[in-house]
Structures are given as C-alpha cells and as structure tokens.
A and B are shown apart, each in its own frame.
Chain A
Amino acid sequence: MTIEAMTPNGERMTLNMGPHHPATHGVLRIVVESDGEVVATCTPDHGYLHRSIEKIGECIDWPLFVPYTDRVDYVCAMNANLAYCLAVEQLLATDAASAVKVPLRGECIRVLVAELNRISSHLVAVGAMAMDVGAYTPFLHAIAQRELVNDIFEKLCGQRLTYNYVTIGGVAFDLYAQASEEITRFLDQFEREMVRFNKLITTSTIFRDRCASVAPVSAAEAIAWGLVGPNLRGSGVDWDLRRDESYGLYGQLAVRVPVGQCFAGRHGKVGDCFDRYVVRLLEIQESVRLCRETLKLLPPPAVKANDPTGGYQADVSRQLKKPPKGEVHCRTEAPRGEMGYFLVSDGTKVPYRVRCRTGSFSAAGIFHKVMRGIFLADVVTVIGSFDIVVPEIDR
C-alpha cells in the first residue's frame, strides 16, 4: 500500500526522535513525519556528536592520532585502531626505504584482538536491538559476555573501552602469560552461552515476527546505497573484505562469509531486519572460529631481540618522522562494515589530511528510504538492526 492511500486527508504530524532518545544509540536526531501510525518521511539530523576528529588528525603526529581512532568507533576500538595503523603502514610501504614488516606474532595478536572485539561489538548490537524491540533480558546476557571480553582486553592493555592497543608497526604490548588459555576458556564458555542466548531470543516467535519483513533492502538497493558490512551481507550480497581483499593474516585464515537468506521463513524477505540480526550472530560464530585458528598459528614469544617472527612490534619511530609523500586509502572490515582511512602525507611528521570512511554513515543514508511506509513502532527496530554508532556518522 502506498503512503498516499494510507493517508487520505494528508494530515501529518511531525515527531522529533532524539537527540536524546534511548533507542537512537547516542545522539542521533530523526525527524519523523507521520500520519497516525505510519511513517511518511524520515529525515536524520546529524552533527550532535561532531567532535572534529578528522581536523584533529591534521594537528598531531602520525602515531598520536591512534587514540582518537578509538573514539571514532568506541564499540569496536581495536578494529578502528587497526584500520588507521594499516593505512599508515600502507603509506610507509609506498617507499621501499621506509616500509615496515609487522612480525608474525604481532599480526596474530592483531587478528585475535580484532575478532574478539568484533564479538563484543556484535553482542552490543544484537543485545541493544533486542532491547529496542522490548526484550530486556537478552541485553543483560550480552553485556555479561561483553564484560568477559573486556576483562581480557584490560589485562592486555589496561583499558576496558578505548584501548589504543594496535599501534603502527604491530601492537603496544605482548600477550600476557596464559592469555591463550584464558581466551580459549572464554571461547568455550561463550559458545555454550550463545546457545542459551539463541534459545532466549533468536528462536522466539514474537521477536522473529516483529522483525520479519520490516524494512527489507534488496541486494541491488544495498549496493546502490553503499551499505557495507553486515548490513550489506544481510541483503544477500556475498562480500567481505577480510576474504575478498584480505589484509594482514586474514589471507591464511579462509574466512567464511554468512549472508542473509530470508532467515525469518515464509513471513520474511531477504534483507529484512531479522536477516541483518541473524547475520551478526553468524559472524560472531565465525569470529570464534577465527580466534581459535589464530591461536593455533601464534608463534612463541621472542627470546632474543629483533626476532623476525616472535616480536610483537616493529620499530617505526624513524620512518614516522619523515614518511613518504603521497596519499593512500586503506579499507578494512570493521564490525559495522568497511572502515577505511584516506591519508595524505606531505612528507612531514604531521598528516596533511586524515579522512575516515565508516559504515554507519552509509547506513544512516538509507534511513529515509527504508522508513517510508513502516509503522512508527518499527522505527527503533530499523535503527537497531542497522547497528549505527553515532560518532561514526558525525566523527
């Protein structure tokens, strides 16, 4: 049914969602024009969390920008660190004299922390989405598991949220003793816990029917609107940078990519909210597998200095004083989709330009399209299913 048919007398009400609203995941403002229960237009208003992070990048040295990348996406700070550091390494590699080689152990630790962070980030996504549609308990289960990942990270680098752990040339600290055992133990209990979590909410008919067929995005639309990451894969597009343009250690790991295929059954459509939700859960499973694989590849720590495989960090202090001139764009697969950094260097120790491309931005771009004609109560479901994080939009 079209909007015009549903709104015969054309009377509309303007409704402001946000900037303070518990379901907008931060300070996103959405101006909804509705007729009764049906959304006619929906306009996101951004900028309530614009912290000028890109501008700060032009003021400080190359390595000092790493903590700010944490703040670009704080739910998966490790992946954000990794994206920037890979971009800088790619810039350094444009000149053979300044190229750095990250030791194998460093690469392994990077993949390990990135995948663990993907788990904890998707946990927030699925938990918060369940909370938005009215189920509070799954959220508590998800947060309880996230705390355990935070414990591991805290032992690793001393922070629970903004890690500043992945650095240019490797990682900041080596794994602590017993880290592998602790991570394995966490993964074992986590898999058992996920079975319970799925019983609690994913297989629940109420939840499934609430999300089925809501705001479906077809594969062609998803590509046209530039969706990335789980939102793109939820629409059935088989594309994952970890597999298709692999970086770091991912080339050796044979990443399996889950895609949306109308998981909600006959009531659903490919690319609806439930597909996006299930794709995230499947990605969590894949991340668990990748962590296990990586632990198998992990070489023992270095016993002597300058060990080419056992070290965790390559020294880059000399190169960063005078990096090569030029520009690079490096794309990585973060939990919210493609996170890419475009760097311009004029050969000094301060970047000329740092541009950051994030997944939530394109997800917010499609809002006004998918929200047309849905029910007002489904707006929060849609926002939850796209898993936006506001500083990624505003930066």
Chain B
Amino acid sequence: MNDHTQERPGNRLDEQVHFAAVDEFLAWGKENSLFYLLFATACCGIELMQAGGPRYDVDRLGMIPRATPRQADLMIVAGTITHKMAGRVRTLWEQMTEPRWVVSMGSCANSGGPFSKWSYSVLNGVDKYVPVDVYIPGCPPRPEALIDGVMALRERVRKYRTLGVRETTPHIVAGHEAPFGGGGCAVPPVVEKAKE
C-alpha cells in the first residue's frame, strides 16, 4: 500500500484500535473522569478551591467539581467535620452513586487535627462515618499534596472491577485502618454511634 497516511505514527490500525477487557476499559474511563463533590467545610476548602484554580488546575486530570452528590464519583472531605455536620456527611455519601470514593483532606478530616484534644464539638476523623480511601496529611495540605493523593487514588480506581470479583485493597496511608474497608464500598456499612 502506498497510502502514506497509513505509515505515520498514530495512524496505524494497531495504534488506533485497542483491545481490553470490559472491566479494564470501564476502570480506565473512571480513572480519567473523577468528578468530585464540591464539599468544602473549612480552611482546607480554600486550598481545594485553589487546586481547582488556574495554577494547579485539577481539571486537566479529568476532575471537575460537581455541586450535587448524584453526579460525583469522589468526595473530597476538605475541612473540619463537627458532630452536628457528621450525619450530613454520611447522607451526602449515601446519595452518591456507586462506585464512590472518599479522600480525606487535611488533619481535621483525618483525625480532628488541631481540635482533637480540646474541642468538645469536633469529630475526630471523618472515617468514623464514611469509609475513607486516601488520607492526605497537612493543615492545610498544599494543592500538590492533594494532587498526589488523587494520583494514589487513581491507582486504586484502576484496580476497581465493575463486573469481576472485587477485592478490598488495604489502605494507602499505612497506620490508618478505616473501619469499613473503603474502596468504592458497595454495601452501606452500619454507622457507629458518635461518641458524645
């Protein structure tokens, strides 16, 4: 064949057509379009906002903020969760469609942060209410740290199998075992009563 367009890299048939298992293909799609719920409660929310701004631009990772949980795959819990708010976080998480992932951003969402010791109203760790996949330390974490956490989450999303057998993988930041296993959690686990 003399058709020169055929020989250019990127135009050959084997470069344009890919074969993949359905599961892998779905995972690839999910990994590259992690829409996140715009859920900013406190200071870390400003960093989340700036991560969406022009310098860090998480849009290029396929992450677009969504105002409603129904359209979101990923919930970034950015900021302090108080006892009054905790039930709402759970409701929001339940409203998200499966598979769903949760990133806990900042010390407050991880463990109560600067409020863990003296505050009577702050929940010490959002993982008491929703299963967390990735924990990002920092008060507040830099947008680079957030992006790093998202990259770690993408590894996890890539392993998610829609049709095949699901395994729950261990948590990404060691030392923090979330109570419900995490990982696109399918069965809504029972909530522990918050300790007052």
Contacts and interface: CB of A to CB of B under 8 A. Distances in A.
B60 to A, nearest CB: 14
Contacts of A47: 82, 84
Interface in A364-395: 390-391
Contacts of A284: none
B82 A48 contact: yes
Q: How large is the interface on B (under 10, 10 to 19, 20 to 34, 35 or more residues)?
A: 20 to 34
B139 A162 contact: yes
A160 B115 contact: no
Contacts of A19: 85, 88
Given A143-B53, A147-B55, A162-B140, A71 B114 contact: yes
Given A22-B38, A144-B53, A161 B121 contact: no
A74 B114 CA distance: 14
A226 interface: no
Contact of B67 (A22, A60, A143): A22
Given A50-B121, A52-B122, A161 B46 contact: yes
B129 interface: no
A67 B114 contact: yes
A308 interface: no
Contact of B84 (A50, A67, A71, A162): A50
B54 interface: yes
Contacts of B40: 26
Given A20-B88, A143-B53, A161-B47, A60 B142 contact: no
B49 interface: yes
B82 A51 contact: yes
B183 interface: no
Interface in B76-106: 79-80, 82, 84-85, 88, 92
A49 interface: yes
A55 interface: yes
A233 B54 CA distance: 32
Contact of B42 (A60, A143, A391): A391
Given A20-B88, A22-B67, A147-B50, A51 B140 contact: no
A52 B114 contact: no
Contacts of A74: 42-43, 46
A147 B41 contact: no
Interface in A31-77: 47-53, 55-56, 59-60, 67-68, 70-71, 74-75
Nearest to A144: B54
B85 A48 contact: yes
B43 A56 contact: no
B39 A20 contact: yes
Contacts of A86: none
A161 B146 CA distance: 15
B82 A50 contact: yes
A281 interface: no
Contacts of B79: 49
B41 A27 contact: yes
Contacts of B45: 26
Contacts of B85: 19, 27, 48-49
A15 interface: no
Given A51-B122, A52-B120, A124 B42 contact: no
Interface in B128-185: 139-140, 142
A70 B65 CA distance: 26
A140 interface: yes
Given A51-B82, A124-B46, A140-B54, A56 B115 contact: yes
Contact of A147 (B53, B80, B88, B139): B53
B11 interface: no
Interface string A97-138: 000000000000000000000000000100000000000000
A125 B8 CA distance: 51
Contacts of A27: 41, 85
B6 interface: no
Given A19-B85, A74-B43, A144-B53, A68 B114 contact: yes
6 contacts: A22-B38, A26-B40, A71-B114, A144-B54, A160-B142, A162-B139
Interface of B: 38-43, 45-47, 49-50, 53-55, 65, 67, 79-80, 82, 84-85, 88, 92, 114-115, 118-122, 139-140, 142
Interface of A: 19-22, 26-27, 47-53, 55-56, 59-60, 67-68, 70-71, 74-75, 124, 140, 143-144, 146-147, 150, 160-162, 390-391
Give 8 nearest A-B pairs by CB, closest first: A143-B53, A74-B43, A52-B119, A22-B67, A56-B118, A48-B85, A144-B54, A59-B118
